[in-house]
A and B are shown apart, each in its own frame.
Chain A
Amino acid sequence: MSDDDLDPAIHVPARLRIMVTLASLGEGDDLSFTRLQDLIGLTPGNLITHLRKLEDAGYITTHKNGSGVTARTAVALTNGGRAALDRYSATLRALLDSAGTPVTGTRT
């Protein structure tokens, strides 16, 4: 097993942070784009780029509530996204175990 076995759609620092942050929400919850940006610390452009890749992979959904100046874009993890993060975590744990590294932070 090698790093190549880790899902490339998730195995990027920014996208990993996005996935873990969204996974910390309750099922059926979503997070506004601005709050997510605040938590992840990316520029809007970078965040949009990463969200688009995760959305293309089917791991997140985005939707807009309201219209005009009150419009709010919300981001949520899909069931497939949650399962993908679980798989990523399991693979990561296996990698760290095989390398004899203490495992922390890989539980979803």
Chain B
Amino acid sequence: MNKNLKEQVLRSSGVNVLKCMRCGKCSATCPSYDEMEYHPHQFVYMVEKGDIETLMKSESIYKCLTCFACVERCPRGVEPAKVVEAVRLAAVRQQGGNHLEPTDIPALLDEDLPQQAIVTAMRKYAK
């Protein structure tokens, strides 16, 4: 358990993970569930346990769509998506932690792609 990382994630997300009653509705409603190694309810529980590094290393942090389905539907108001985002930020803010570099972009473009997709990706995956 990494206490500092846990505190950073809790502070940055503004989420009180202790409100979770472990119903699993976040994972039931998540459209990216099958793409994730760790699922929304596990994010909340692992942050509570302080097991942040495992999450930071997992590809799951890039699979969350930030669609807020879990936030809207959580019966306890836990806001799991904000936890995922805080963990992802903890990862990309590390030195060399960028998941996407501007140089990667040209290869990903097609003629119809709105640039909104690019700014969004940079915002989510890089410092």
Chain A complexes with chain B: no
Interface residues, chain B, CB within 8 Å of chain A?
none
Interface residues, chain A, CB within 8 Å of chain B?
none
